[in-house]
Chains A and B, each alone.
Chain A
Amino acid sequence: MGPNGEFRVSDIEEIINNHRENGRNGSLMAVLEEIQAQYRYLPRDAMILVSERLGVPLSQTYSVATFYNAFSLKPKGKHIINVCLGTACHVRGSHRVLEHIEKKLHIKPGETSKDREFTLETVNCLGACALGPVVVVDGVYSGQMNPTKADALLEEIPSNVGER
């Protein structure tokens, strides 16, 4: 990745080459997953490059990129807040937690705050049902959330991430 997070052709080529080594029958999704992991979104030119190198029509790359929830075409915030809305979390009140966070950050699920600090997402189940409601901030799980605990969680975010 470039110094400001912009995408570099050499990085993308490296990802593609890595997958070609052990790849057999096409590895489009695996390549896109890795780009997504590195940039937190799929830059437009990166998708074009991937299509060219893998010999996959751009239309297919685009359809895959827009079909699966794991891919995003828009840059995401520095911190990703993911509220689990699985059934177990739902019956224990996760919607109230989500509403609370929406109000607090002034963004809806799928949106990124204006300052590009936060992206709010929802997920349909993390399989951590015993801990519901679950909120994941930058990959760190927190269980048995309620609006008050969510406040505390949001306040901790900068330091929380700095340590990792």
Chain B
Amino acid sequence: MPKLHMPSDLERLSESLSDARDPNRPCITVCGGTGCRVYGSEDVLEAFRLELERQKLDSTVDLMPTGCHGFCEQGPVVAIWPQGIFYPRVRTDDVGEIISETVVGGKIVDRLVYVDPGSRQRIAYEKDIPFYQKQKRVLLDQNGYIDPSKIEDYIALDGYKALSKALHQISPEQVIEEITRSDLRGRGGAGFLTGVKWGLCRKAPGDVKYIICNADEGDPGAYMDRSIMEGNPHRVLEGMIIGAYAIGAHKGFVYIRNEYPLAVKHLRTAITQAEEYGLLGENILDSGFDFTVEIRLGSGAFVCGEETALMASIEDRIGEPRPRPPYPTESGLWGKPTNINNVETWANVPLIVGRGADWFLQLGTEQSGGTKIFSVVGNVNNTGLVEVPIGTPLGDIVFDIGGGIPKGKNFKAAQLGGPSGGCIPREHLNVPIDYTTLQELGAIMGSGGMVICDDDTCMVELARFFLNFVQEESCGKCVPCRVGTKIMLEVVTRITQGQGQEGDVEYLIELGEEIKRSSLCGLGQTAPNPVLSTIRYFRDEYEAHIRDKRCPAGVCQDLVYSPCQNECPAGQNVPAYVSLIGEGRFEEALEVILDRNPFPSVCGRVCDHPCEAKCRRSQIDDPVATRALKRFAADYMAAEGIPSAIYDRLRVETDGQKPKVAIVGSGPAGLSCAYFLARLGYQPTVFEKLPVAGGMLAVGIPEYRLPKDVLKREIEFIEKMGVEIRTEVSIGEDVTIPELYQQGYEAIFIGVGAHHGRKLNIPGETLDGVVDAVDFLRVVALSGHRMWVGRRVAVLGGGNAAIDAARTALRLGADEVTIVYRRTKNEMPAQRSEIEDAVAEGVKLELLATPAQAISQNGGIKGLECLRMCLGEFDRSGRRRPEPVEDSRFRLDVDMVISAIGQTPDTTSLLSSLELNRDGTIKVDKDGRTSVPYIFAGGDAVTGPATVIWAIAAGERAAVAIDQYLSKDDNRVYPWRETRPPDTPFDPEAEPAPYGRLETTKLASDERRCSFAEVEAVCIREAAVQEALRCLRCDYREEQATEVPTETGVPALAEA
């Protein structure tokens, strides 16, 4: 290989190499990054080589192993050029087909094409994939086009030209000036201005100076430096040589983790090649400038990422930091002026010198130029390396590029900057990510690790994880870090084990601030950040652990009986009833359900089953069908006849001398409250305004989901427990609350629901033909499905009420029903399965649209004018806010509009002294106590429209609060609150049941749309038993033989 002497030599070489690369020549690139290698990319590469040889195409088709493409989740990643066709997850078996179909035939192999997890769209070309589309890849771009083990590939793409320019056209001072002007900040974490640092080092007195490339990428969850070194090592070297020239150093070190063997290998190769071409060594490109680079391996100490510790390590000492000043730029390695930058910073240098500071500046924000690479990992669909201009909003990274959260879960927070950083919760998805904004929010840019957390991440546990990390990695030299982090870890661990005490949070804040102030180096000064930041945004989670002994995310083992039980608002002992069903012990299963829930048949049909969302079985295939199992147990026992012994066993007290309690409203909240009171020996009286009991269960949820006789059966069961229900008694008209109190009802529970539809606030909403969904569904239910319905109906809203109204309208004979919703399907609050069922029945979805005006005709309406919406910035709920598109009016020809945009409780007839929330709901504490001592409340009247299971939970909690109030005893034990492990046998060593989730049978959609017959059928006995055996028994503990009942906390009621 000829040494390059003059800049013109490089120019000529680059030209000839570039010319040799025919852009139209077919080329197959196979990603060879660590991620893709784990998935077998080396085998795939070899298979391509053999197949090309076999088909005698090896002389006409290029095959190139490249560096990391960043889309690691999809490995092994293969791209076919010149078309730019992208195939993810390629296996060796696919190779033959790719060559014959795509490379030779020019056709796309459909089955191998990438499917976008969000839109389910099939996308064939790399440039069209949302993950790449919204990125700005200037540092990572070449990773996909060059073989990192060939310097020629880099030179062909103008590599080392910036170096040549620096050496021959500009002075060292000018290089520093350009870097300073570009505002390039250190990408390793601290964000110090690179140009300023270089300037200091250049000016520092001394003949011998060093530069160091910090490649000790230790932040767990960050791997961009690894990818740059693996995929484009020459760019790092070129940056270092330019930097050395500017600073006046002749010796550089790359301090690299030994956990990155591939990066070490590529870097070694690159150094050798650069030396051979005369780009490293003596008299580089005939400029008279000498520079050599040496690799030093880190030996697994996180603290060595700190610059003074790193230098100690290069000097063969233990990696303990020392106080600064003096800064390394004055006195660094072996006491000489030393400039340290991290890998990504060095990689930026050739770009800035080559293309100019102005080009770089226009990439970022006003405060900071350029791009930043983030490793977006954790609970996100598109895991991988993402390069975006500094200042890109967090939400764009998580949702547009990252593809959102898998399995339909919610984004909870992004943890940035690893153990030194902090988290950003969903309220701040709009925040532009740059150095200053992140600092304001209590996080840091750090090296760019971005760990996405969903609902299943416990923030206290995450803080414990980071503390444990820094505690282990603390070098031990200074006391605040060594001892302080240990104490913090002890406190946080205690909290996660349910041993937290009042005052712990305040203590953690005080201690954390002290450690930050007094630690010697960056490790200690930032170590408390993950704790302080999670306290800042998720203090309620700490408090749930400390006060309620409850882990809301269902993670902390000592506080969680099982994830499903933990998630159920009513605390249903899911593993117990599921495993009893698996044993064929259906009566006992039903009793377990009834212990916490008087509505097994109802919940077995309409519950939104939050338990299933937490089921660990979904890590293997799909969650256990707990709702279907609950329904099976309820229906099976109803057919058998519920034995009276069950009543006796459920009754806690039989004393009939209890005070009188009145329940206002017979919905699930009221009836649950009554049921639990009855079990405690009370004989509550329920007052219902309507002629039927059941509240929304009777007049809200349509019959095809919940047949009337099923509901009746369940209400009869509650009555038999000792509850009296008086229908057609209207509170406020027939009797007032104070009157009830005077009649001797010593406590009153209000569960009047939320039956009052929200106003649309559009012209024409009072016209005939515009109705409210709640009113509509109530009239349909009470009239026995005799109700006028339009031929063409628009239903406004995206919740369960909207879906219920739409499917009901269809069943009443409407020709066409369209749901108009202002966001997209993903944001619809209705249950997924309900939406799918509605669509299957023929309901149309008009998404991203909002009503503007109902158009009148002969007293009725003839149409609905709508506006097209688009999704704008993120709102505080973490969803994108819909915004109207200008001049986008369009009309739906409809003769009926059903509005289902939300409901509020009607509290006008209640007590005027009762304190309300701003939205009109009743203000209560977590157990349902209102501002009036004898009045309690729960259900939709408190929370606004919510689900049945939340209402049941609220009823139970209020029943306990009422009993405590009336008995004036706060220490009573409520036996159903003890979650007992079942006595069913379980073999923890056995393999999980090897079959998939139970599919329930549904009526055919064309049959459904013309009748109110129940859509879903109950499963047969054998299927139920089989399904139950799929449970992984997360409740199982080895010490279970001792049968200690677990006292589990109850979740706090959802905020209204």
Are A124 and B38 neighbours in the complex by a CB distance under 8 Å?
Answer: no
Task: Give the contacting residue for A124; candidates B457, B469, B991; CB below 8 A.
Answer: B469
- Is B217's CB under 8 angstroms from A127's CB? yes
Q: At the interface, yes or no: A88 with Cβ under 8 Å from chain B?
A: yes
Residues of A within 8 Å of B377, CB to CB, are 87-88, 129-130, 132
Known: A88-B220, A88-B221, A124-B473. A68 touches B299 (CB 8 A): yes
Report B-chain residues with C-beta under 8 Å of the C-beta of A27. 316
A93 sits at the interface (CB 8 A): yes
Is A60 interfacial (CB 8 A cutoff)?
Answer: yes
Q: How far is the CB of B1025 from chain A (nearest CB, A)?
A: 22
Within 8 A of B (CB), among A131-151: 131-132, 134, 141-143, 146, 148
Residue contact A33 to B258, C-beta cutoff 8 Å: yes
Q: Which 8 A-B pairs have the closest CB atoms?
A: A130-B72, A127-B223, A69-B300, A86-B220, A68-B299, A125-B220, A88-B377, A70-B299
Most chain B CB within a 10 A radius of its CB, from A28, A64, A124, A148: A124
Whether A91 pairs with B218 at a CB distance below 8 angstroms is: no
Nearest chain A CB to B664 CB, angstrom units? 45
Binary CB contact string for chain B from 288 to 316 against chain A (1 if under 8 A, 0 otherwise): 00000000110111100000000001011
Closest to B456 in A: A91
Cα(A126)–Cα(B316), bound, Å? 24
* Interface residue? B1030 (CB, 8 A): no
The answer on a CB contact under 8 Å between B313 and A127 is no
Residues of A within 8 A of B317 (CB): 60, 64
Complex CA distance for A149 and B466, rounded to whole angstroms? 26
Contact indicator B299/A141 (Cβ below 8 Å): no
Are the CB atoms of A141 and B220 closer together than 8 Å?
no
Contact of A130 among B218, B222, B383 (CB under 8 A): B383
Q: Which residue of B lies closest to A64 (CB)?
A: B318
Contact A125 B316 (CB under 8 A): no
Query: A: which residues have CB within 8 A of B?
Result: 25-30, 32-33, 56, 60, 63-64, 67-71, 85-88, 90-93, 123-132, 134, 141-143, 146, 148
Q: Are B319 and A68 in contact (CB under 8 A)?
A: yes
Residues of the A chain whose Cβ atoms lie less than 8 Å from the Cβ of B72? 128-131
B35: Cβ under 8 A from any A Cβ: yes
Q: Is B334 an interface residue (CB 8 A)?
A: yes
Taken together as a complex, chains A and B put the C-alpha atoms of A130 and B36 apart, in Å, by 10
B959-992 interface (Cβ within 8 A of A): 991-992
Q: Chain B: which residue is nearest A71 at the CB level?
A: B299
Contact of A146 among B75, B418, B466, B620 (CB under 8 A): B620
For residue B135, give the distance in angstroms from its CB to the closest CB of chain A: 15
Given known A28-B316, A93-B619, A128-B35, contact A70–B223 (CB-CB < 8 A):
no
Known: A67-B318, A87-B378, A131-B38. Contact between A125 and B457, CB under 8 A? no
Return the contact of A26 from the options B226, B260, B316, B418 (Cβ within 8 A): B316
B378–A92 contact, CB under 8 A? Answer: yes
Closest to B383 in A: A130
Whether, in the assembled complex, B34 has its beta carbon less than 8 Å from a beta carbon of chain A, the answer is: yes
B741 within 8 A of A: no
Q: What are 13 A-B contacts defined by CB distance under 8 Å?
A: A29-B296, A29-B299, A32-B299, A33-B297, A33-B299, A60-B316, A68-B299, A70-B300, A91-B457, A91-B462, A124-B302, A129-B222, A130-B35
Give the complex CA separation of A123 and B220 in angstroms: 9
Interface string of B585-629 (1 = CB under 8 A from A): 000000000000000000000000000000000011000000000
Nearest to B319 among chain A residues (CB) is A67
Q: Which residues of A contact B375 (CB under 8 A)?
A: 88, 129
Q: Once the chains bind, are B258 and A129 in contact (CB under 8 Å)?
A: no
7 further contact pairs, Cβ within 8 A, besides A87-B462, A132-B377, A146-B620: A28-B316, A29-B316, A30-B296, A68-B301, A88-B451, A124-B473, A130-B75
A126-B217 Cα distance, complex, nearest whole Å: 10
Q: Known: A88-B377, A88-B378. Contact between A129 and B223, CB under 8 A?
A: yes
Question: Given A56-B316, A125-B221: A92 and B38 within 8 A (CB)?
Answer: no
Q: How far is the CA of A69 from the CA of B475 in the complex (A)?
A: 12
* Shortest distance from the beta carbon of A58 to any chain B beta carbon, whole Å: 14
Q: Are A29 and B313 in contact (CB under 8 A)?
A: yes
Q: Which residue of B lies closest to A30 (CB)?
A: B297
A126: chain B residues within 8 A (beta carbon) = 34, 259
A143 to chain B, nearest CB (A): 5
**A132 cross-chain contacts in B, Cβ below 8 A:** 377
Inter-subunit contact A130/B220 (CB<8 Å): no
Kindly state the separation between the CA atoms of A36 and B473 in the bound complex, as whole angstroms.
Answer: 21
Q: Chain B residues near A93 (CB, 8 Å)?
A: 619
* Contact between chains at B221 and A128 (CB < 8 Å): no
Query: How many Å from the CB of B1018 to the closest CB on chain A?
Result: 31
Chain B 242-274 residues near chain A, CB threshold 8 A: 258-260
Interface bits B445-483 vs A (CB < 8 Å: 1, else 0): 000010101000100001001100100010100000000
Smallest CB separation, B444 vs chain A (Å)? 15
- Asked whether any CB of chain A lies closer than 8 Å to the CB of B1012, the reply is no
A-side contacts of B841, CB under 8 Å: none
User: Would you call B384 an interface residue if the criterion is a C-beta within 8 Å of the partner chain's C-beta atoms?
Assistant: yes
Which residues of chain A come closer than 8 Å to B378, judged between CB atoms? 87-88, 91-92, 129
Q: B44 to nearest A CB, angstroms? A: 15
Q: Interface centre among A67, A85, A123, A134, by most B CB within 10 Å? A: A67
Which residues from chain B contact A68 at a C-beta distance below 8 Å? 299-301, 318-319
- Bound complex: CA of A148 vs CA of B384, how far in Å? 25
Q: Are A86 and B313 in contact (CB under 8 A)?
A: no
- Find chain A residues with CB under 8 A from B39 CB: 131, 143
Most chain A CB neighbours (cut-off 10 Å) among B39, B319, B377: B377
A132 to B297, CA, bound (A): 25
Q: Is the CB of B619 within 8 A of A146?
A: yes
CB distance from A140 to the nearest CB of B (A): 9
**Cα A86 to Cα B473 with chains together (Å):** 13
Assembled-state Cα–Cα distance A148/B218 (Å)? 29
Complex: chain B residue closest to A140, CB-CB: B38
Chain B residues lying within 8 Å of A30, measured Cβ to Cβ, are 296-297
A128–B302 touching, CB < 8 Å: no
Measured between beta carbons, the chain B residues less than 8 angstroms from A129 are 72, 221-223, 375, 377-378, 383
Check A127/B299 contact, CB under 8 A, given A67-B319, A91-B462, A148-B620. no
User: A29-B316, A67-B301, A131-B72 in contact; A141/B37 too (CB < 8 A)?
Assistant: yes
- Whether the Cβ atoms of B301 and A128 lie closer than 8 Å is no
Contact call A87/B316, Cβ cutoff below 8 A: no
User: What CA separation (Å) do A70 and B473 show in the bound complex?
Assistant: 13
In the complex, chain A residues whose CB is within 8 Å of the CB of B219: 125
Per the bound structure, the CA–CA distance linking A90 and B221 in Å amounts to 10
B572 lies within 8 A of chain A by Cβ: no
How many angstroms between the C-alpha atoms of A87 and B37 in the bound complex?
Answer: 21
Cα-based distance from A46 to B328 in the complex (angstroms): 34
Type the 1/0 row for B202-237, where 1 means its CB is closer than 8 Å to any CB of A: 000000000000000111111100100000000000
Q: Which residues of B contact A143 (CB under 8 A)?
A: 35, 38-39
- B368 contacts the other chain (Cβ, under 8 Å)? no
Given contacts A64-B318, A67-B318, contact A91 B297 (CB under 8 A): no
Give Cα A56–Cα B316 distance, bound, in whole angstroms.
10
Contacts of B302 in A (CB 8 A): 124
**Cross-chain contact B316 with A70 (CB below 8 angstroms):** no
Tell me which residues across on chain B come within 8 A of A141, comparing CB atoms.
34, 37-38
B11 interface residue, CB < 8 Å from A?
A: no
CB distance from B553 to the nearest CB of A (A): 11
Question: Is the CB–CB distance between A148 and B220 below 8 Å?
Answer: no
Q: Which residues of B contact A123 (CB under 8 A)?
A: 259, 300
Q: Min CB distance, B471 to chain A, in Å?
A: 12
User: Which residue among B220, B226, B258 has the maximum number of chain A CB atoms within 10 Å of its CB?
Assistant: B220
Q: Does any Cβ of A come within 8 Å of B415's Cβ?
A: yes
Partner of A90, one of B296, B297, B465: B465
Residue of B nearest to A31 (CB): B316
Q: In the complex, which residues 532-578 of chain B have their Cβ closer than 8 Å to any Cβ of chain A?
A: none
Interface centre among A25, A30, A123, A126 (most CB of B within 10 A): A126
Closest approach, in angstroms, between the C-beta of B255 and any C-beta of chain A? Answer: 11
Q: Please tell me if the beta carbons of B619 and A87 are within 8 angstroms of each other in the complex.
A: no
A64 proximity list for chain B (CB < 8 A): 316-318
